[in-house]
Amino acid sequence: ERLNGRRMLVSSDAALDGKLFVQFIALILISYIRKHMIDKKLFGKYTLQGLLDELDIIECFKQPGKDPYIGEILTKQRDLYCAMDVQAPESIASLCVDAGM
């Protein structure tokens, strides 16, 4: 897989540096995931995008005045976390990131 390398529309050199840094970190993460998929022989069942899509559907729900809660995590998703040597989210703190949610 490769990252979107199209022309970056930025208003300053600092913004360009920031975007390049984020792409660099994303490339490291994608390389790490891809390596684990090769090591665990997951490419027989999933594409890289397919694996990410499978894990992307886990949601954190937040409502004003109520405690946040995690949507259902399927056994298949837990198995993928295990295969990738990553602990599946068990609590709100491990899944919900306060980034405008």
Is 2 within a domain? Answer: no
Is 51 within a domain? Answer: yes
Task: Quote the pLDDT of residue 12.
Answer: 83
The domain tally of the chain equals: 1
Binned at pLDDT 50, 70 and 90, residue 24 comes out as very high
| pLDDT, mean over the chain | 81
Query: Pick from 89, 4, 3, 76: which is nearest to 46 by CA?
Result: 76
Task: For Cα atoms 23, 25, 27, give the angle at the middle one, nearest 5 degrees.
Answer: 70
Task: For Cα atoms 42, 87, 92, give the angle at the middle one, nearest 5 degrees.
Answer: 130
Is 7 within a domain? Answer: no
| Residue 75, domain extent | 13-95
Is 31 within a domain? Answer: yes
User: Which one is predicted more confidently, 5 or 68?
Assistant: 68
Is 71 within a domain? Answer: yes
Is 1 within a domain? Answer: no
Q: What is the pLDDT of residues 66-101, one digit of tens each?
A: 888 778 888 899 899 898 888 887 755 554 444 444
Is 39 within a domain? Answer: yes
